[in-house]
Structures are given as C-alpha cells and as structure tokens.
Amino acid sequence: ADGPAQALDVLGRYANVVPGAESATVVTTFVDFDARTITYSSAGHLPPALVHTDGRVEFLDGATDPPLDASPDPVPRPEATAGFSAGDTLVLYTDGLVERRREDIDIGLGRLADSLTRHRKAEPEPMADAVLLELLPPEGATDDTALIVVRL
C-alpha cells in the first residue's frame, strides 16, 4: 500500500471475506521522521493522540471513516497529515481504555489527554504504565485494552 488509506482499503477487502471481521475498527499511521510528519487514516477507530512536548494533546481526527466492511462497495478512504517535533509522543489505544458505560466518549478522551499531559516527560514504557494505572477502571477492564506509546 502507498499510504495509510490504501492499507485500510486492502484491509476492508479482506474483512469482506473473513467471518466476524465486519465492523472491525482500525487506524493506520505512517511516520516520516525526515519530514517530521504523521500520515494517518482511521476506519471507525478512535483517533491517535499526538502529545507535544509543551503538554498540548492533539487528537488526529482529520481522516475518519466508517469501520471496515461497513460499505458493500469499496470507497477511497480519507487520509490526513500532521506535523510533529522531536520529542513529541504518538499514542495509539483501543476503546477499552477510554470508553465507559453511560458516559460520553469525550469525557474519556479528556481523561486520556489529562493523563498524557501529566506523564509526557516519562519514557514511553513508564508513561504507558502510568496511563494504564490511571485510566483502567478499579474493577478491571471490561473491553479490550491496548496502548502503544512511541517517542518521536
């Protein structure tokens, strides 16, 4: 694939023939360290978070589309690009980290942004550990939970 959107196109065709893959969500990112850009595309997945060294958290939500296999006919997916600076952090996560029953998703995303800002100076592994400890419900996760932290 030439980029994240094309990768999602291929995954969408695959999801058409795999039982149980309908409505799967995924986000893809391509990081160009020379140009200091992140090109991304989302198929129904929550947006990646770009944590800037000044503590600002930018949710990369400029290229969002329905989940895989949501449309019977393949359609080109959107793709967007964001710039980053050395030392910024890219964070990918699943809905189990931020979604709670009977709660607006924006509240969970706000919790995530606050936690990422607080722990932005930590190295990726301790940062991930701290965010997981803060955001996972005390009774344990009720949904899949994954967190990827990459220092750029």
**For 79-125, what is each residue's pLDDT tens digit?**
999 999 999 999 999 999 999 888 999 999 999 999 999 999 999 99
CATH of 4-151, one of 1.25.40.10, 3.40.640.10, 3.60.40.10, 3.30.465.10: 3.60.40.10
Residue whose entry in the numeric block shows the structure tokens 């952090």: 89
CB neighbour burial string for 85-115, b if at least 16 within 10 angstroms, e if fewer: eeebbbbbbbebbbbeeeeeeeebbebbbeb
Domain boundaries, the chain: 4-151
- pLDDT the model gives residue 9: 87
What is the C-alpha separation between 2 and 91, in angstroms, rounded? 22
The upper half-sphere exposure of residue 106, i.e. CA atoms within 13 Å in the direction of its Cβ, equals 0
Cβ within 8 Å of residue 52, ≥6 positions away: 58, 84, 85, 88
